[in-house]
Amino acid sequence: MPSENDTKKPAASEKKTATAVKMASKQQEISVTEFFEKNKQILGFDSRSKSLLMGIKEAVDNSLDACEEAAILPDVDVTIDRLNDEDYHIVIEDNGPGIVHKMMPNVFGRLLYGSRFHALRQSRGQQGIGISATVMYGNITTGKPAHVESKIEGEDEVAWGMDIVIDTKANRPIVTNDKAFTWEGKEHGTRIAYTIKGRYITGKQSIFEYLRDTAIVNPHAQIVFRDPEGKRFTFERATDIMPPRPKEIKPHPEGMEIGDLMKYASNSAQKTMNTFLKNDFSRITDRLAKEILAKAKVKEDKKPADLTREEAIAILEAIKTAKIMAPPTDCLSPIGDHLIKKGLMHVLDGLRPEYYATPVTRSPKAVNGNPFVVEAGIVYGGDIPSDGQVQILRFANRVPLLYQQGACAITKAISEMDWRRYGLEQRGGKGIPYGPAIILVHVASTKVPFTSEGKEAVAGFPELQSEIGLALRLCARNLKSHLNKMERKKKTHAKFEIVQEILPDMAQKAADHLGKPVPNLDRTITKIMNVVWVEPSVEKKGKNLRVIKYTVYNYTNTKRTLRLHAQVPRESLNLTLYSNPFFLDINDEGKANWEIPDIEPSMHKELMFELSGDMADTFDADDIYFSGLNPVIVMGAELLPGDWGIKGMEIVESDDDFVNEDEEEETEVEELDDE
């Protein structure tokens, strides 16, 4: 007979089995929508005020992307109506190409559905989450559907409107009230209206701040904003110049993972490994393909679909040793120096800044096979508060980043610079500097390395952070050069005023005492001053016409000849630039050169030209360079940098090229950073 213990063992085993079966019965697939519904904070919907902003941000980003893809100058309207203390009705309308009727439900009612995820080119939206997540958040917080209207271009095309809610279990849209209608006065465009729980705030991290910053880096867009109080704000279009449309590129093999290579190989339409590497990746030539396969010991005629894991590992190792060109950069659409300045001037004009440091656009680089470009700009002085930390404007693919500033690679790069050498306060030589300045940094890439799906901060890859630092240093040098020039001009102006007041008074008294006529003091004043003075002036004639004039005074004892150099916006050039008698030449980058010969002592000559068009006001007359003279005797212009690629005249020194001690301290030929 079985013992008592023997009868208990099967019971325990049966109990364990029952538990496992019970646990297994609870396991089920979770849809992506359901996951994000329970983890809204991942997408940035983690507070009432932030949720209100994130919904508008996703809609505006989509509108700008669609307009640029269709080569349409964007007009975006944003309206917020307060229904009660928590509920807000949001309407965003654009003039984009519209959305085909049958695609509207999926675009607005299905997460991870879009056209840009697999496209290797710069765009604001890529994941196919943003606008559908906004619709989902509105559905679950208020229970109300989103209403979408769209019309595509064409005389016979009607507009379509529908209400959309999202089935979070199936990640599918539920459409009601799907109707065609006539959209009067609208040739094409899209409109989305939804109700959401939120909290409207003003000031920092507000919707107004987001739209203002968007206008800075998208000067080709017009944005109209109506707030809950009924106030209307218009960020006018600053230029009709559309950004270059980025082209889609093939994946680059640098930094590729094993899974990526295996996936590309299994989906390839190529018949052999040689043609697979050559035709499905960028920068791989026939020679490189053969070299990589030989090192990996993989047959050239092997079918890509038959590639094994071991062979994929060998190919990746071979790729690391091959010299492959960086990815092509026509997949990017950087803002550009002049348009950055145009956007800053257009939006920040109310602060009346003293100086816009010449923005910097770095050469393209690559990280993990993804090309990227870093741009930077600095605004200084005027009504910008001087008693606090500088304001940092962070952007990625032309989109403002308002949250997680401390976790962002842009902030880290700014904090690690020694800004004291560039004229800003910084306690201990580290951290965000203090002073009347605004620092702008823009990162453009086919795949910006964000720290989360909320796209609020850029991850700190070493290559990226290094490029940000280099762009900031170049821009900061421009600021430092300007501050030094202004300080020198201020001191020389003071000296000039003293000389012009005291000497004539002394001469008058001496002449009266001796009973002789007052002597001409021009040569005496010239000898005391001993400078060649370049004085700029700008005359505004209408909205888009500027007359630029440089008066060159020779306050030395010998005849002088010098060259002046400036970078002007080519699209604003006027024929008067070329007809000027001092004009030499201009290159494709807009770097213009003039030669002003034989300026007699105590005499002056004038250089004058016109700039017209909506980019004319981006030219700063103070950003003038010279060559041909000893820099210690030239005031009002900086020595021509060596990287301009222009061979300047020989520096001519003479015995009277002396400098007083106080002037010598202020003389600066911009030195390279120790870094």
Q: Sign of torsion, CA 342 348 354 357?
A: negative
Distance CA 97, CA 189 (A): 6
Domain 33-235 top-level CATH class: alpha beta
From residue 282, give the alpha-carbon distance in Å to each of 73, 290, 317: 31, 15, 18
* Neighbour-count burial for 219-250, b at 16+ CB within 10 Å, e otherwise: bbbbbbbbbeeeeeeebebbbebebeebeebb
* Phi, psi angles (nearest 5°) of residue 136: -60, -45
> Helix H segments across 297-399?
309-321, 337-348
- At residue 8, the pLDDT reads 52
Smallest Cα–Cα separation from 440: which of 530, 339, 364? Answer: 339
* For residues 380-398, average pLDDT: 91
Q: Check pLDDT > 50 for residue 670.
A: no
* DSSP H or E stretch at residue 114: none
High-pLDDT (> 70) share of the chain, %: 86
From residue 340, give the alpha-carbon distance in Å to each of 219, 346, 357: 8, 10, 11
- Specify the pairing of strand 545-555 against strand 604-612: antiparallel
* For residues 70-93, average pLDDT: 94
Task: Encode 496-512 in three state secondary structure.
Answer: HHHHHHHHHHHHHHHHH
Distance CA 336, CA 375 (A): 8
Distance CA 330, CA 423 (A): 37
- Which residue has better confidence, 367 or 663? 367
Hey, is 458 helix, strand or coil?
Answer: strand
- At residue 128, the pLDDT reads 41
Which amino acid is it at 114?
A: G
Which amino acid is it at 413?
A: A
Q: Ramachandran region of residue 368, left (φ > 0), alpha (ψ -120 to 50) or beta?
A: left
- For 83-221, list the strands marked E by DSSP: 87-94, 146-151, 159-167, 172-181, 189-197
* Phi, psi angles (nearest 5°) of residue 267: -95, 0
First-to-last alpha carbon distance for the chain, in angstroms, is 89
- At residue 596, the pLDDT reads 95
* DSSP H or E stretch at residue 444: strand 437-445
- At residue 460, the pLDDT reads 84
Query: What CA dihedral angle connects 302, 304, 310 and 314, to 10 degrees?
Result: 80
CATH architecture, range 520-666:
Sandwich (2.60)
- Which residue has better confidence, 416 or 543? 416
Q: Sign of torsion, CA 64 67 72 77?
A: negative
Residue 346 has which token pair? 């257009």
Quick count: other Cβ atoms within 10 Å of Cβ 343?
A: 27
- Which residue has better confidence, 163 or 254? 163
pLDDT in tens, 557-582: 899 999 999 988 877 777 777 788 99
- At residue 657, the pLDDT reads 46
Neighbouring C-alpha atoms within 13 Å toward the C-beta of 88 = 25
Distance CA 375, CA 341 (A): 11
Residues of the chain with CATH 1.10.8.50: 258-321
Q: Sign of torsion, CA 64 211 569 477?
A: negative
Out of 17-21, 70-74, 271-275, 524-528, which region has the weakest mean confidence (pLDDT)? 17-21
Neighbouring C-alpha atoms within 13 Å toward the C-beta of 606 = 7
* For residues 448-456, average pLDDT: 80
* For residues 353-371, average pLDDT: 83
Out of 81-90, 349-358, 390-399, 605-614, which region has the weakest mean confidence (pLDDT)? 349-358
| Cβ-Cβ contacts under 8 Å for 355 (sequence gap 6 or more) | 379, 380, 381, 479, 482, 620, 622
* For residues 441-466, average pLDDT: 86
- At residue 40, the pLDDT reads 55
Q: Check pLDDT > 60 for residue 127.
A: no
Q: Is 75 exposed, middle or buried (0-12, 13-18, 19+ CB in 10 A)?
A: middle
Task: Output DSSP code: residue 197.
Answer: E
Residue 305 has which token pair? 């679909």
- At residue 671, the pLDDT reads 37
Q: Which residue has tokens 């820099």?
A: 631
What rounded mean pLDDT belongs to the chain?
Answer: 83
- Which residue has better confidence, 458 or 544? 458
Rg of the chain (C-alpha set): 32
> Do 449 and 331 meet the contact criterion of CB atoms below 8 Å apart?
no
Number of residues that make up the chain: 675
Hey, is 290 helix, strand or coil?
Answer: helix
Domain 337-480 top-level CATH class: alpha beta
- Report the alpha-carbon angle 353-354-357, nearest 5: 90
Residues of the chain with CATH 3.30.565.10: 33-235
pLDDT in tens, 623-663: 899 999 998 889 888 888 876 765 444 444 444 444 443 33
- At residue 523, the pLDDT reads 73
Global confidence as pTM: 0.78
Task: Encode 117-142 in three state secondary structure.
Answer: CCCECCCCCCCCCHHHHHHHHHHHHH
Q: Check pLDDT > 70 for residue 116.
A: no
Out of 75-79, 105-109, 255-259, 388-392, which region has the weakest mean confidence (pLDDT)? 255-259
* For residues 139-166, average pLDDT: 88
* Phi, psi angles (nearest 5°) of residue 314: -65, -40
- DSSP bridge pairs for 625: 565, 638
pLDDT in tens, 29-78: 555 555 555 555 555 567 788 888 888 988 998 899 889 989 999 999 99
Hey, is 466 helix, strand or coil?
Answer: helix
pLDDT in tens, 261-319: 888 898 888 999 999 999 988 889 999 999 999 999 999 999 999 999 999 999 999 99
> Do 180 and 160 meet the contact criterion of CB atoms below 8 Å apart?
yes
Q: 258-321 has which CATH code?
A: 1.10.8.50
Out of 53-67, 106-120, 522-536, which region has the weakest mean confidence (pLDDT)? 106-120
- At residue 666, the pLDDT reads 37
pLDDT category at 115 given cuts 50, 70, 90 is: very low
- At residue 646, the pLDDT reads 55
Strand ranges across the sheet with 232-235: 172-181, 159-167, 146-151, 189-197, 87-94, 75-82, 222-226, 232-235
Residues of the chain with CATH 3.30.230.10: 337-480
- At residue 643, the pLDDT reads 66
Smallest Cα–Cα separation from 209: which of 229, 230, 225, 192? Answer: 225
Smallest Cα–Cα separation from 338: which of 403, 241, 430? Answer: 241
Quick count: other Cβ atoms within 10 Å of Cβ 528?
A: 16
- At residue 249, the pLDDT reads 81
